[in-house]
Amino acid sequence: MKVGYLLMASILFILWYLIFVNKETEGFVHAGYASTSMLVGIAILGAYVGALYKPRISSLSAIGSFFNDRMYLPYLNDYIIPKIGFFVAHLVHGYGNRGIDGFFNTMVMPGLFALISRIIRRIQSGYLVHYIKVVLGIVMMILILAAIGGVYLYP
Amino acid sequence: MTAVTLTLVALVILVLGAVGSFKFRPLGFLGALIAILIGLGTCPFYYGIFIFAIALVNLLSLTALPDMIKGVDYSLVGLMALATMYIFTTHDFAMVLVALVLVSVPTYILVMLRADKANIEVGIKYITFMVLATVMFLIGAVILLYAHAHGAAAGNFSFIYAVGYVMLILGLSLEVGVAPLHEWVPDVFTAGDPIPISIIASLAKVVPFVAALWILIPISNVITPAMVLFTAVLAAISMFTGNIGALTAREPARVLAYSTVANMGYVLSSFVVIANHEYVYFAIAGGLLMLFANAVGKIGFFNAIKGEGAYSPFMYILAFSFIGVPPLMGFWGKLYILFSMAKMEYFWLVAIMVINSAISIPYYIRLAGELGVSWRMNLLNFICLVVVIITLVTVLFVPVDWFFKNIALVANSLGVVI
């Protein structure tokens, strides 16, 4: 474990070196040197160094062992992280997929099309009088609009 | 011999055949066949071949009906075919309107034909709307020409032009079944005998569109682009009404009725080119191919309804053509129409047409599945085979530039010089 932390921290130094020495990354240095990015980098480095030393207090070792060996890491790995994953998967599957599927394939859009289709077909009452009223109404309305439009376009 | 003389000779033969058919029914068929063969010499070749093929299949399918009016039914189809061929020959405004009436009036009688007795209820419903449609078309055409003669091209008489344009388009819409004036279509298609309905859904649809183009293209003016927008909106309404209406329709004839409403919307959308003659070739080629694809498809499906099913692969080929699967005929029709609309920068209408083609897929496939049966040797299956062969013409002779080039002649007869 210590070797692993050591290697990771060393890579940070290598990256730091490359960023400051390379010509290509000069822009990054100028843009971020005075900003919080340096502080973030130092904080990460500090965390790694702290992790390498891992200060231990003997009177609290029982609690440390309890969390470290028995509860904390197994619980984190076996319960909390999978639960988060399951929750995200549930969101995507339950609401995302089902929502998209329901909207486009099974419920909303097909239902909407079926409703509009029935409305379109409801006009077909079979009575000639009804059809004549509909057709003449539409024709008269469009002719009036056309007449107004004709006057408006080029009076 | 001139086209007029040929047409007159064909008409005489047609009348003789009709008279002779009272003694011997096949004489009516023979007279009609000879008349449309003569009529072939009066119009652009490929256009004429398509009309000839459609009319021939219509004549053949009529033999499945009993001889209620002897062989006069053949003569009526022959008359419609002759008028459809002749409209591309004439430059006379009055003759265009005569052709329109000659195609419309025979269907008044045909629609009432059925096995036992005259279908009066369907006849009344159909004739009422057709008379209204023809009157509106004629009045619209006359008003348009009046406005044109009095300087509509310079922006004068725009009010008269707008009213005439709208009346003509509404008359056309009522005649062919464009929504929202489509109310007669589902009732007549469902209640009528499938054979005469297949004629009304095929041969009778060409002339109204061509006549409208013949009148509108040469007299387009400064306010035409604004009026074309009205046509585009009407076409879009018809596409949605037809395709969505067909989704929940149960009876095959009713599905085909709504399919007709949608297809007439596709063809009407090609009218956007009348504001700019540069792309008129594409629009006319697309519109005619769409009408031919619609005609052969409807003949096939209605004959399948009459025969209680037809050979399943035939049904699926016709359905794919309607959907617009390349390289079947329906695809080329839609392609040319889409191309002309895109060139005219009617991108929203392009999107609507593509969306509607997608909406139509389920009901065409369902229809093909319902009407598809195993192979049987009978006349109606043979007719379905013929219409499938016509549909496959564009597969056998790809690309279809031969038809497109032939359209130059058509456009010239419409008074369009590019």
Tell me what the pLDDT averaged over chain B comes to.
90
Residue B418 has pLDDT above 50, yes or no: no
Distance in angstroms (rounded) separating the CA atoms of residues B357 and B271: 19
Closest-CA residue to B111 (of B234, B228, B193): B193
Average pLDDT rounded to a whole number, residues B383-395: 91
Q: Does B63 touch chain A (CB under 8 A)?
A: no
A83 and A107 belong to one structural domain = yes
Regarding whether A34 and A48 lie in a shared domain, the answer is yes
| CB of B229 less than 8 A from some CB of A | no
Where along chain B do its domains lie? 3-413
Least confident of B5-9, B88-92, B190-194, B286-290: B88-92
Distance from CA of A93 to the nearest CA of B (A): 27
**Burial of residue B370 (number of CB atoms within 10 Å: 0-12, 13-18, 19+):** middle
Q: Give the Cβ contact number of residue A124 at 10 Å.
A: 20
User: A144 and chain B: CB distance < 8 Å anywhere?
Assistant: no
Per-residue pLDDT, averaged over A78-99, amounts to 83
pLDDT in tens, B364-385: 999 999 998 888 888 888 999 9
Q: Work out the average pLDDT over B401-408.
A: 76
Q: Are residues A86 and A50 in the same domain?
A: no
CA neighbor of B381 nearest in space, from B57, B67, B68: B57
- The residue among B115, B109, B118 whose CA lies nearest residue B80 is B109
pLDDT at residue B167, rounded to an integer = 95
pTM: 0.82
Calculate how close chain B gets to A73, using CA atoms only, in Å: 54
Which of A139, A145, A148 is the best mutation test for B, with the most CBs of B within 10 A? A139
**Cα B273 to Cα B287: distance, rounded to the nearest angstrom:** 11
CB B140 within 8 A of CB B168: yes
Which is more confident, A45 or B211?
A: B211
Confidence of residue B112 (pLDDT cuts 50, 70, 90): very high
Please give, rounded to a whole number of angstroms, the shortest distance from the CA of A125 to a CA of chain B: 9
Beta-carbon separation of A151 and B158 below 8 A: yes
Rounded to a whole number of angstroms, the distance from the CA of A139 to the nearest CA of chain B is: 7
Number of separate domains in chain A: 3
Q: What single-letter DSSP state applies at residue A123?
A: T
Report percent pLDDT > 90 for chain B. Answer: 65
Do A135 and B181 count as a contact with CB atoms less than 8 A apart? yes
Tell whether the model's pLDDT for residue A6 goes beyond 80.
no
Peptide bond connecting B399 to the previous residue in cis, omega within 30 degrees of 0: yes
Q: Which of B159, B243, B258, B366 best probes binding to A when mutated, by most A CB atoms within 10 angstroms?
A: B159
The average pLDDT across A1-22 equals 75
Residue B184 has what pLDDT?
93
CA-nearest of B127, B117, B130, B21 to B75 is: B21
Distance CA A78, CA A60 (A): 25
Q: Which of A48-62, B31-45, B107-121 has the lowest mean pLDDT?
A: A48-62
pLDDT higher than threshold 50 for residue B417: no
d(CA B379, CA B385): 10
Spatial contact of B47 and B17, defined as CB atoms under 8 Å apart: no
Tell me if B294 sits within 8 A of B201, measured CB to CB. yes
Per DSSP, the residues of B296-352 read: HHHHHHHHHHHTT-EEHHHHHHHHHHHHT-TTSHHHHHHHHHHHHHHHTT-HHHHHH
Q: What is the pLDDT of residue B149?
A: 86
Q: Show residues of chain B in contact with A104, CB under 8 Å.
A: none
Instruction: Indicate yes or no: CB of B170 within 8 angstroms of CB of A114.
Output: no
In eight-state DSSP terms, residue B272 is: G
Q: Does the structure show a pLDDT above 60 at B226?
A: yes
Query: Chain B residues with CB inside 8 Å of A149's CB?
Result: 162, 226
- Confidence category of residue B278, pLDDT binned at 50, 70, 90: confident
User: Tell me, what's the pLDDT at B174?
Assistant: 95
Q: How confident is the model at residue A71 (pLDDT cuts 50, 70, 90)?
A: low
pLDDT value of residue B68: 75
Measured in degrees and rounded to the nearest 5, phi and psi for residue B373 equal -135, 180
Instruction: Say how far apart CA B381 and CA B360 lie, in whole Å.
Output: 25
Flag if B125 and A131 touch (Cβ within 8 Å): yes
Following DSSP, what letter does each residue of B6-69 receive, concatenated? Answer: HHHHHHHHHHHHHHHTTT-THHHHHHHHHHHHHHGGGS-HHHHHHHHHHHHHHHHHHTTS--TT
Q: What 3-state DSSP class applies to B157? A: coil
Same domain for A83 and A39, yes or no, is no
Mean pLDDT lowest among A150-154, B106-110, B349-353: A150-154
Nearest C-alpha of chain B: how many angstroms from A75? 52
d(CA B303, CA B57): 10
Q: What is the mean pLDDT of residues A101-129?
A: 86
pLDDT value for A73 = 63
Partner B contacted by A134 (CB < 8 A): yes
Degrees to nearest 5, angle at CA B215 with B214 and B221: 115
Q: Say what the pLDDT of residue A75 is.
A: 67
Rg (C-alpha) for chain B, rounded Å, is: 20
In this structure, are A105 and A141 located in the same domain? no
Beta bridge partners, B372, equal B310
Taking only the tens place, the pLDDT of each residue in B154-166 is 667 788 888 999 9
Cross-strand pairs, B310: B372
Diameter of chain B measured on Cα atoms: 63
Q: Which ipTM score applies to this complex?
A: 0.87
B70: left (phi > 0), else alpha (psi -120 to 50), else beta?
left
Q: Are strands B310-311 and B372-373 parallel, antiparallel or unpaired?
A: parallel
What are the residues facing B185 on neighbouring strands?
none
Tell me the pLDDT band of B35, cut-offs 50, 70 and 90: very high
Instruction: Give the pLDDT score at B139.
Output: 95
> pLDDT at residue B399 above 70?
no
**Which of B76, B6, B80 lies closest to B41 in space, CA to CA?**
B6
For residues A37 and B227, which has the higher predicted lDDT (pLDDT)? B227
A17 and A34, same domain (yes or no): yes
- Answer for the pair B211, B97: CB distance below 8 angstroms, yes or no: yes
pLDDT recorded at residue B43: 84
Any bridge partners for residue B373, and if so which?
B311
pLDDT tens digits, B58-71: 999 998 888 777 88
* Statement to judge: residues A78 and A113 lie in one domain: yes
Q: Rounded to a whole number, what is the distance in angstroms from the first to the last CA of chain B? A: 28
What value does the mean pLDDT take over residues B197-221?
Answer: 91
State the Cα–Cα distance between residues A3 and A1, nearest whole angstrom.
5
| Per-residue model confidence (pLDDT) at position B152 | 67
**For B346-352, which contacts have Cβ atoms below 8 Å and span 24 or more sequence positions?**
B346/B232, B346/B269, B346/B272, B349/B232, B349/B235, B349/B236, B349/B269, B349/B272, B352/B236, B352/B239, B352/B240
Q: For residue B250, what is the nearest residue in chain A, using CA coordinates?
A: A121
Look up the domain containing A21 and give its range: 1-55
Chain B CB contacts of A124 under 8 Å are: 183, 186-187
Mean pLDDT of A61-82: 68
Across the range A132-150, mean pLDDT stands at 90
Average pLDDT over residues B206-222: 90
Considering only the beta carbons, identify the residue of B160, B226, B245 that sits closest to A153.
B226
- CA angle, corner A112, sides to A110 and A117, nearest 5? 95
The pLDDT value recorded for residue A82 is 85
Instruction: Among A39-48, A84-93, B50-59, name the most confident range.
Output: B50-59
Of residues A106 and A155, the one with the higher pLDDT is A106
